[in-house]
Structure 1
Amino acid sequence: MVLFLTMLSGIAWTVVYIDSIRIGFAARTYAMPVAALALNIAWEAIYSLHGLTTGVSAQAVINVVWAVADVLIVVTFVRFGRRELPAFVSRGMFVVGSVGMFGAALAVQLLFIDEFGWDQGSGYAAFLQNLLMSGLFIAMFVARGGARGQTLLIAVSKWIGTLAPTIAFGAMEHNAFVLGIGLLCSVFDLAYIGLIVWARTRPLALTDPVAASPTPIPA
C-alpha cells in the first residue's frame, strides 16, 4: 500500500510539473510560486544525488524525474519572471534576488539534514514546503487577479500528490506531524481548487464587483 501511494504521489506531482511547464511557456509566465520552486528544486537535487549514491529506490527515481522537470520550470521563471514584478525591479535586482532565493533554499534544505538527518529531514522539509506552496498558490491567484498561468489540473494533482504521502506516512505510520501538516495542506489545496473552479465558471467576477455578488432574491 505504501509503494502504491508513493507511486501515486510521484505520478501526481509529475503531472503538476509537466502542466506547469506547458502553461508556463504557453502563458509566458511561471506556474509555480518562486519560493516553493526554489525549495522544491533544492530538495530534489539533494535527495536525487543521495538516493542514487546510496541505493536506487522508487522514490530516488521519482526525485530525479521531478528535478529534471523543475529545471524547465526554473527556465520559465528566468525567462518570464521579471515581468511579474514591479517596474522598479531592474534586471540586476532580479538576478541577484533570484540567486539569493535559490541559494537560501539550498541552505535551508542542508540545515534540515544537519538537524534531523537524511530520513527525517527529507520528510519534515517536504511537508513544510508543501504547506508553504499550498498557501503561495492561493497568494499567486490573488496577486495575479485570477488563474493566469494556473490550471485546474495543477491544482487537483497537487492535492492528490500531497494527500497520498499524508496517508502513507502520516495516517498509516501514526506520525502526528506529517498527518497534521498534510491535512493543513489539503485544506489550502481544496480552497485553491475552489478558486480555480470559481475563476473558470464566473470569469466576470474577477473584474466586475457586481458579478462577484450573489444575485439578489426578488421580493
Structure 2
Amino acid sequence: MASLPYPGILWSISYILMANKAFKDRSYAMPLHCLCLNITWEAVYGFVYGPGLLNQVVFAQWMVVDVVLFYAVLRSAPYAWKQSPLVAQHLAGIIVVGCVICMWLHLAIAATFIPSIGRQVAFMTAWPMQVLINLSSIAQLLSRGNTLGHSWGIW
C-alpha cells in the first residue's frame, strides 16, 4: 500500500489528459467497457471494501475524473458514433447497463475472495483490467483508423 500514491498520481495525470483530449478532439480514449469497469472498480474497492482514508481519497479523485470522461463520451457521441446513430442515440443507456453489470461483477468477486485472501483482491483484479484497457485501446485505435482522443502523453 505504501506505493499507492505514485501510481495514483500517474493515473490521475493520465485521466486528466484523457479528459482534456476528449473535449479537444470530440472523441475519447478509454473504451466504454473499460470505463465502466474502471469506475465501478473504484467504487467497490475504494468505498464498499475500501482499506482506508488514503485509498478513498485517491479513488474518489479517480471517480470524479471518470465522471468527466463519461460526460466527454456522451458529448462526443454524435461525432464518435457517426457510423452508428443507434449507438449514438442510446449511449447513456448503454453506459448505465454496462456500469450495472460491472458493479455486479466487482461486488461478486470482492464478496467471494475478500474473506479468503483479504483486500489484496483489489490489486489482483486491477492488473487484468489494465491489460484489458491496453489491448482494448489498441483495438479501438485500429478500428477507428485515427488517433482522435489519444496522445503519446496519455500512453
TM range (shorter): 0.7 to 0.9
- How many angstroms apart in 1 are the aligned matches of 2:60 and 2:110? 19
CA RMSD of aligned residues (A): 2.1
- Residue by residue over 1:89-147, the C-alpha shift from the partner in whole angstroms, topping out at 9 and shown as x without a partner, is 15554343222212111111111112211613312221111111010110111022132
Which structure has the larger Rg? 1
- Judge conservation of contact 1:51–1:60 (CA < 8 Å) in 2: no
When normalised by structure 2's length, the TM-score is 0.85
- SS of equivalent to 2:86: coil
Question: 2:69: which partner in 1?
Answer: 73
Question: 1:174: which partner in 2?
Answer: none
Q: Which runs of 4+ in 1 moved over 4 A?
A: none
Aligned residues: 151
Q: Where do residues 48-197 of structure 1 align in structure 2 (5 Å cutoff)?
A: 48-50=46-48, 55-57=52-54, 59-85=55-81, 86-89=83-86, 93-117=90-114, 119-155=119-155
- Judge conservation of contact 1:19–1:154 (CA < 8 Å) in 2: yes
Aligned CA distance change for structure 1 residues 56 and 107 (closer, same or farther; 3 Å): same
- How many angstroms apart in 2 are the aligned matches of 1:124 and 1:130? 11
- How many angstroms apart in 2 are the aligned matches of 1:37 and 1:75? 12
Alpha-carbon distance, 1:48 to partner: 2.6
Aligned CA distance change for structure 1 residues 93 and 71 (closer, same or farther; 3 Å): closer
- How many angstroms apart in 1 are the aligned matches of 2:30 and 2:87? 22
Alpha-carbon distance, 1:84 to partner: 2.6
- How many angstroms apart in 2 are the aligned matches of 1:133 and 1:115? 24
When normalised by structure 1's length, the TM-score is 0.62
Using CA pairs under 8 Å that are at least 6 residues apart, name the structure with larger relative contact order, 1 or 2: 2
